[in-house]
């Protein structure tokens, strides 16, 4: 550092020595900035750079002044010099350049610089400002930014995609993506919440509650998690805990638009329609969303379900004006007006902005092409079909399952697989319809060499009035041993076969003491029905039983259920006597 004085003075004079260094000129530049004297500030920052040319901060200060003066190109030249010649780790230079390019309306260059900043600095100082700038650039460029590789937004892009899949009713794909996100970023609470919803829609209630518990451990006041937990409690029949949680939620007045909507829809699902109506009314006063036809339908549904019929009529009429092409407002207006004319109460109305499920099915009867097109292009409809499969009554589930066989879609195969793989279905017709639909979908796949799957004999409708513990043990053991080695339809076939066997034996069903032997026989027969190569010895070794036991039990099941051609010729086996 060089020390200079203003004049050569005589010894003992009262003149104060002034040190001319980078700090001196920096302080003078700052004072000039405070007075908005940009020319003087620039001159002093340039002097600071002369004294400390390797200090990147001084260069950036000079670039900042030039930007304030509107000389964006000169500012960027300095920033490029810093990155190339002085300190490549000065990542904020990319953010400054992005702002300069945006001011020059060079939006492509601005986007490139901003993405570079976000890619190179995962915890930078300007992340919040970067989000705002990114929104501006997306608006100007009329497209989203390429943010796939940005560490600072790790999981965000994937989460947005997963949310889209969830909204489209593509639950299996959403689950896969959300599981990966939550594994990599365990503190990403929104991803946990959406994963819980995806699990719930697929009927995986235990996993759904586990996800929510993880969220509430990190953030006990998370409104989305609390609302979702309340819904899960209702479906689980947990009335006591639900009552406590509901009292807390009903006393909550959310502020943010997203939270108001979440609370409104949650209250509607939980049957607190008057509370839901109040929240929806609040949203209608918001200019951003108040012109949405769907929101007017939600408010109308809440009003109708609260017996506020005049308000419901007003809202549906407004929805019809905002969305004249939709049949939904007109349908419910007609229903409500008919109910009022006859002096009867209006049935409960779904909050989904679409025609009632049964009404949609009627419209598509005999017109599979229209149905197929609508299912592929209407995310809400797909979601409602999946929901009906899981929570509809027996007749609705049967209709949906039969309808799905005409949608040649990999996702539909996954949904039907999931339906069959979950808890045993109680309705035999629904089991058969699901299997037939799934087999048709599999048969229509591009693999022309795939062997057609053989159908099991239908279950008898007469059967035992209650299911015994030893019968269920065989089923559980079989399912456990077949897991990961057989697909869902094959495991379901094993279950159906066992139920057929027990049903045919009833009322003279013995006590099944050798669980492993019966389970092994069940797997053996299922494998044969699906043309899988297997021997008695192989399956016996897997289950830890004797091959003779497997042979004998398999023949007993086969003979009782009249399964033609399911067993090979007699194998040479060591003799053994086993009791049931």
Question: pLDDT tens-digit profile of 527-541?
Answer: 887 777 788 888 888
Contact 128, 96 (CB under 8 A): no
Q: What is the DSSP letter of 452?
A: P
Residue 461, domain member (yes or no): no
- The domain that holds 498 is classified in CATH as 1.10.472.10
136 and 176 part of one domain: no
Contact 413, 442 (CB under 8 A): yes
Positions in the chain short of pLDDT 70:
1-19, 21-22, 122-124, 128, 144-157, 288-290, 357-358, 360-465, 562-580
Local structure of 320: helix, strand or coil: helix
pLDDT of residue 514: 87
127 and 168 part of one domain: no
139 and 172 part of one domain: no
Domain count for the chain, please give it: 4
pLDDT of residue 275: 93
Q: At what angle do helices 368-377 and 357-364 cross, to 10 degrees?
A: 130
Question: pLDDT tens-digit profile of 485-509?
Answer: 887 777 888 888 898 888 888 888 8
- Cite the beta strand spans of 452-498 per DSSP E: none
Residue 100, domain member (yes or no): yes
Contact 252, 274 (CB under 8 A): no
Contacts 24+ apart (CB under 8 A), 322-325: 322/291, 322/292, 322/293, 322/296, 323/293, 323/294
Distance of CA 58 to the CA centre of its chain: 48
pLDDT of residue 103: 92
Structural domain harbouring 517: 469-561
pLDDT of residue 518: 93
Residue 476, domain member (yes or no): yes
The first and second tokens of residue 178, run together, are 């959300």
Q: What angle do CA 433, 437, 441 make, to 5 degrees?
A: 170
Residue 277, domain member (yes or no): no
29 and 71 part of one domain: yes
- The domain that holds 209 is classified in CATH as 1.25.40.10
47 and 123 part of one domain: yes
Neighbour count for residue 25 (Cβ, 10 Å): 21
125 and 219 part of one domain: no
pLDDT of residue 374: 61
No. of helices (H) and no. of strands (E), the chain: 29, 0
168 and 94 part of one domain: no
HSE, side-chain direction, 13 A CA sphere, residue 452: 6
518 and 428 part of one domain: no
Picking from 188, 120, 198, the residue whose alpha carbon sits closest to that of residue 163 is 198
């Amino acid at each position: 550092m060089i020390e200079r004085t203003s004049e050569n003075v005589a010894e003992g004079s009262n003149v104060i020595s002034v040190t001319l260094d980078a700090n001196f000129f920096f302080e003078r530049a700052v004072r000039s900035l405070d007075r908005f004297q940009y020319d003087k500030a620039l001159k002093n920052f340039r002097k600071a750079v002369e004294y400390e040319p390797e200090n990147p901060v001084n260069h950036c200060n000079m670039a900042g002044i030039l930007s304030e003066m509107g000389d964006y190109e000169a500012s960027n030249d300095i920033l490029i010099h810093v990155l190339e010649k002085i300190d490549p780790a000065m990542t904020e230079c990319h953010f400054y350049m992005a702002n300069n390019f945006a001011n020059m309306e060079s939006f492509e260059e601005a986007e490139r610089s901003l993405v570079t900043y976000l890619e190179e600095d995962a915890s930078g100082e300007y992340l919040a400002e970067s989000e705002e700038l990114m929104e501006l650039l997306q608006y100007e460029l009329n497209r989203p930014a390429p943010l796939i590789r940005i560490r600072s937004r790790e999981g965000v892009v994937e989460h947005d995609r997963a949310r889209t899949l969830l909204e489209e009713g593509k639950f299996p794909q959403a689950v896969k993506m959300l599981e990966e996100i939550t594994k990599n970023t365990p503190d990403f609470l929104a991803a946990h919440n959406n994963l819980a919803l995806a699990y719930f829609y697929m009927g995986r209630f235990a996993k759904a509650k586990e996800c929510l518990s993880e969220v509430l451990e990190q953030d006990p006041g998370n409104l989305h998690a609390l609302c979702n937990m309340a819904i899960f409690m209702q479906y689980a029949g947990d009335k006591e805990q639900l009552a406590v949680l509901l009292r807390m939620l009903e006393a909550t007045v959310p502020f943010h638009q997203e939270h108001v909507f979440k609370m409104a829809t949650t209250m509607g699902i939980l049957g607190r329609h008057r509370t839901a109506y109040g929240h929806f009314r609040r949203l209608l006063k918001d200019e951003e969303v108040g012109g949405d036809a769907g929101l007017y339908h939600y408010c109308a549904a809440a009003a109708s379900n609260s017996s506020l019929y005049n308000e419901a009529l007003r809202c549906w009429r407004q929805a019809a004006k905002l969305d004249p092409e939709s049949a939904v407002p007109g349908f419910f207006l007609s229903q409500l007006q008919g109910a009022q004319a006859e002096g009867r109460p209006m049935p409960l109305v779904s909050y989904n902005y679409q025609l009632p499920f049964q009404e949609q099915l009627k419209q598509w009867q005999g017109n599979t092409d229209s149905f197929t097109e609508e299912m592929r292009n209407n995310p809400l409809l797909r979601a409602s079909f999946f929901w009906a499969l899981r929570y509809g009554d027996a007749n609705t589930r049967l209709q949906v399952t039969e309808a799905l066989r005409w949608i040649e879609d990999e996702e539909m195969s996954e949904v039907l697989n999931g339906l069959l793989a979950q808890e045993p279905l109680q309705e035999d017709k629904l089991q058969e319809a699901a299997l037939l639909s799934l087999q048709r979908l599999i048969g229509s796949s591009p693999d022309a060499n795939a062997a057609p799957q053989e159908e099991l004999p239908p279950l008898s409708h007469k059967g035992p009035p209650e299911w015994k513990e030893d019968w269920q043990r065989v089923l559980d053991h079989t399912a456990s041993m077949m897991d990961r080695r057989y697909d869902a339809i094959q495991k379901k076939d094993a279950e159906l076969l066992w139920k057929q066997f027990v049903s045919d034996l009833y009322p003279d069903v013995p006590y099944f003491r050798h669980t492993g032997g019966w389970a092994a026989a069940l797997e053996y027969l299922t494998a044969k029905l699906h043309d899988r190569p297997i021997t008695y010895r192989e399956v016996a070794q897997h289950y830890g039983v004797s091959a003779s036991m497997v042979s004998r039990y398999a023949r007993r099941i086969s003979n009782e259920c009249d399964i033609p051609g399911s067993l090979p010729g007699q194998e040479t086996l060591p003799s053994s006597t086993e009791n049931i």
